[in-house]
Amino acid sequence: MNTVELIRKKREGLNLTENELNFLIAGYTKKEIPDYQFSAFLMAAFLKGMNKEETALLTKAMLYSGIVVDLSSIEGFKIDKHSTGGVGDKTSLILAPIVAAAGLKVPMISGRGLGHTGGTLDKLESIPGFRTDLNLSKYKFVLKKCGAVLIGQTKEIAPADKLIYSLRDVTATVESIPLITASIMSKKLAEGIDGLVFDIKTGSGAFMRKEKDAKTLAQSLISTAKAFDKKVIGFITDMNQPLGNYIGNWFEIYESIKVLQGEQVDDLNEVTFNLSGAMIYLGGKAKSIQEGIQISKELIRNGKAFEKFVEMVKLQGGDISLIKNPEKYPKAKIHEKVFADKAGYLNTVDCYEIGMAALELGAGRKTMNDKLDYKAGIIFHSKIGDKIKKGDLIAELFTDKKEVVESTKKRILSSIAVSKEKVSSPKLIKQILV
């Protein structure tokens, strides 16, 4: 097979075969195909697209660039959730223990935060001692023992994806549905799962700002999951404002603990329980998503979900005294309040800007080399639809970086808009796709 001919074929909009995609992915992973040829292929695939079958075959080729974890020695239905990322999105931290407490297995391999969105690994690593770099045998051990495990990408998992993603990032070939699908699915399928629930975010804080694009991605992910015989449900959920109130690494652990201990955070609970409910349903422990939601609520009420969380943190080396007494966590040097400078009904939030404000305070990364301040972040008090008076508390900032406080306050204030007319709060669960 000839690389130039395969690039030409995709350039002409023709479909590549399984053998051809395997040749490209294996060749690139082994560095037999140079970057400059693969980037030309990526741009051709970006502009000419790939159909469902090709997307599944590309996923397969990338999946088998590494290993698929063999979880056959562990009993139970294995299910994971994937979110496209948002601001304040801490649902994984809450639903993993819920679903494990429901009797399913939740083997999660997660990523780090970049830009305006946080990453589950970073949040967990804010717990002193918590290890996300478990090897695969330790990963299986924790999963078997407690039913949930949360680790980072290992080098055995879809090595092609890491290489390809780095190249896409510098060649303007990121925002492609088939390429995004294959990237997500090759990693998720490597976990050894039986089912998968997607949370595709849409709105000002999401990668897919338009619901139409979110739906296209959701359908591509679902179709690919089905091509691998996985049980799957996709949710399109609102990301026009932060989910819950806390944004930041430890802050999101903190709010997750509160929810696991029974505190009601309306939007966060609604999204989390829908996702966990769907996971419990797909795993056969409920007859419907609704019944799965009821089970989720009960596992919060009776303390079993929180117990699972403590167990998982302990098994992964985290300091559980802080989980039990989260108020003891170190505090940021600066605590600054942001007050409303206008009155009206909160109409829109530029949620991307809120995420970037948290980043500036130390909670996020501009590049993968930036260091995080785990205790930095924002408590964002207002929700779309709230009636606001001038001087009302909108948000609280926590940081050690004095120099960014004023600019961040301004950034937050200019990211919200009010109107004179009443505004209804956005629908959280916009679509459920199967």
Please pick, among 110, 126, 183, 276, the residue that the annotation labels catalytic.
183
187 is annotated as an active-site residue: yes
DSSP run (H or E) holding 429: strand 429-433
CA angle 245, 250, 253 (to 5 degrees): 70
Query: Which residue's CB is nearer to a second copy, number 212 or number 427?
Result: 212
Nearer Cβ to a second copy, position 40 or 432?
40
Rounded Cα distance between 37 and 35, Å, is 6
Q: CA 390 to CA 393: how far, in whole Å? A: 9
At residue 10's C-alpha, the angle toward residues 5 and 16, to 5°, is 85
**Six-digit token pair at 42?**
């990526």
The active-site residue, picked from 78, 81, 82, 215, is: 82
Please state, in angstroms and rounded to a whole number, the distance separating the CA atoms of residues 84 and 86. Answer: 7
Between residues 156 and 175, which has the closer beta carbon with respect to a second copy? 175
Q: How far is the CB of 33 from a second copy (least distance, A)?
A: 10
- Which residues lie near a second copy (CB under 8 A)? 3-5, 7-8, 11, 34-40, 42-44, 46-48, 167, 169-173
State the nearest-atom distance from the C-beta of 63 to a second copy, in Å.
24
> Among residues 80, 89, 122, 161, which one is catalytic?
161
How many residues belong to the chain? 434
In the complex, the smallest distance separating the C-beta of residue 223 from a second copy, rounded to whole angstroms, is 25
Among this protein's residues, is 212 annotated catalytic?
no
82 is catalytic: yes
Nearer to a second copy, 83 or 176 (CB): 176
* Shortest distance, position 255 Cβ to a second copy, whole Å: 35
Contacts of 282 (CB under 8 A, 6+ apart): 77, 79, 195, 197, 231, 232, 233
Catalytic choice (187, 188, 201, 365): 187
Please indicate whether residue 161 is annotated as part of the active site: yes
Q: Which of 90, 116, 140, 168 is labelled catalytic?
A: 168
CB of 169 to a second copy, least distance (A): 8
> Long-range CB contacts (< 8 A, 24+ apart) of 402-410?
402/333, 402/334, 404/360, 404/361, 405/334, 405/336, 407/360, 408/357, 408/360, 408/361, 409/336, 409/338
Nearer CB in complex with a second copy: 173/269: 173
Amino acid identity of residue 161, one-letter, is D
The token pair at 422 is 């009443």
Catalytic residues: 82, 161, 168, 183, 187
